[in-house]
Amino acid sequence: MCGRFVSSSTPDEIARYFDAEPPPAESALEPSWNVAPTNDIYVVLEDGGVRKVAPHHWGLVPVWAKDLKIGSTMQAAREPLDCRSTRSKPKSSSLFQS
């Protein structure tokens, strides 16, 4: 995962935009102009027809990972793709299972 983005909206602004409940004040996150995988960000979740703004960890953590830190070591796919070596790597081997 290699993208970065800006997260400068307050949770109240996000809640108004998405017609959602804001998070509790104690879960406030600081604005960031360089959000990277492994950072916490605000997301909008819907549960039982109710939208809520909540902080969550952003990044790719594979199902086989035993530690969240593995998400920061995942690299973006490179071209050209070599299927023989990709099949043997844990992060992509499940793509080849039938």
**50 and 7 assigned to the same domain:** yes
The answer, yes or no, to whether residue 86 has pLDDT greater than 90, is: no
**38 and 73 assigned to the same domain:** no
Say what the pLDDT of residue 78 is: 52
The answer to whether 16 touches 53, Cβ cutoff 8 Å, is no
Domain count, the chain: 2
**54 and 73 assigned to the same domain:** no
Give pLDDT tens digits for 25-59.
Answer: 888 899 999 998 788 999 999 999 999 999 998 87
Per the structure, the complete domain to which residue 18 belongs is given by 1-59
**65 and 55 assigned to the same domain:** no
Say what the pLDDT of residue 36 is: 84
Of 65, 68, 67, 44, the closest CA to residue 56 belongs to 44
Q: What percent of the chain has pLDDT over 70?
A: 66
- Which neighbouring-strand residues pair with 41? 56
Q: Tell me how far apart the alpha carbons of residues 3 and 15 are, in angstroms, rounded to a whole number.
A: 24
Of 61, 60, 59, 20, the closest CA to residue 41 belongs to 59
**81 and 91 assigned to the same domain:** yes
Lowest mean pLDDT among 18-27, 43-52, 68-77, 79-88: 79-88
